[in-house]
Structure 1
Amino acid sequence: MYMPAHFEENRPEVLHRLIAEQPFGALITHGPHGLDANHLPFEAQLLPAADGTSEASRYVLRAHVARANPVWQEAATHPDALVIFQGPAAYISPSWYPSKHEAHKQVPTYNYMVVHAHGRIVVHDDESFVRGLVARLTRKMEAGEAVPWKMGDAPADFIAQMLGAIVGIEIEVTRLVGKWKLGQNKAAADRRGAAQTLLARDGDEQKAVGQAMLDAPPAF
Structure 2
Amino acid sequence: MYIPKQFEESRVEVMHELIHAYPLATLITHSSDGLNANHIPLYLSESPAPSGTLQGHIARANPLLGEIAEGIEALAIFHGPDSYITPSWYTTKKETGKVVPTWNYAVVHAYGVLRIVDNASWLRAQLNALTDHNEASFPERWAVSDAPPDYIEKIMAAIVGVEMVITKLLGKWKVSQNQPTQNQASVISGLRASGLPESEAMVALVESGTKNAR
Question: Normalised by the shorter chain, which TM-score bucket?
Answer: over 0.9
Which of 46, 52, 59 is the matching residue for 1:59?
52
- Report the CA distance between 1:165 and its aligned residue: 0.3
CA contact (8 A) 1:26 1:37 kept: yes
For residue 47 of structure 1, report the CA deviation from its aligned partner.
1.5
1:106 aligns with 2:99: yes
Q: Which of 127, 132, 156 matches 2:125?
A: 132
Where do 1:1-220 residues align within 5 Å? 1-48=1-48, 56-57=49-50, 59-77=52-70, 79-217=72-210
What is the distance in 2 between the residues matched to 1:127 and 1:35? 30
Q: Which runs of 5+ in 1 are unaligned?
A: 49-55
Contact 1:65 1:168 in 2 (8 A): yes
CA deviation string 1:4-57 (max 9, x = no partner): 110000011100000011111110111111111111111101114xxxxxxx54
1:77 to partner: Cα distance: 4.9
CA deviations on 1:66-116 (whole Å, 9 max, x unpaired) are 000121221125731100000000010001001111211111111010000
Structure 1 distance, partners of 2:95, 2:182, is 13
Distance of 2:33 and 2:46 partners within structure 1:
33
| Superposition CA RMSD, Å | 1.7
CA drift of 1:157 comes to 1.6
**Shift in Å, 1:188:** 1.1
Alignment check: 8 A CA contact 2:8 2:171 kept: yes
Q: Normalising by structure 2, report the TM-score.
A: 0.93
Q: Which residue identity lines up with residue 66 of structure 1 in the other structure?
A: A
For the Cα contact (< 8 Å) 2:51–2:169, is it kept in 1?
no
* Deviation readout 1:137-162 (Å, 9 max, x if unpaired): 11222233343222222222221111
Is contact 1:200–1:207 with CA below 8 Å preserved after alignment?
A: no
> Are the aligned partners of 1:182 and 1:212 in contact in 2 as well (CA < 8 Å)?
yes
The separation in 2 between residues aligned to 1:2 and 1:198, in whole angstroms, is 26
**TM-score normalised by the chain length of structure 1:** 0.90
SS at match of 2:95: helix
Q: Secondary structure at the match of 1:216?
A: helix
1:213/1:89 Cα in 2 relative to 1: closer, same or farther (>3 Å)? same
Counterpart residue type for residue 99 of structure 2: Q
Deviates more, 1:28-37 or 1:194-203: 194-203
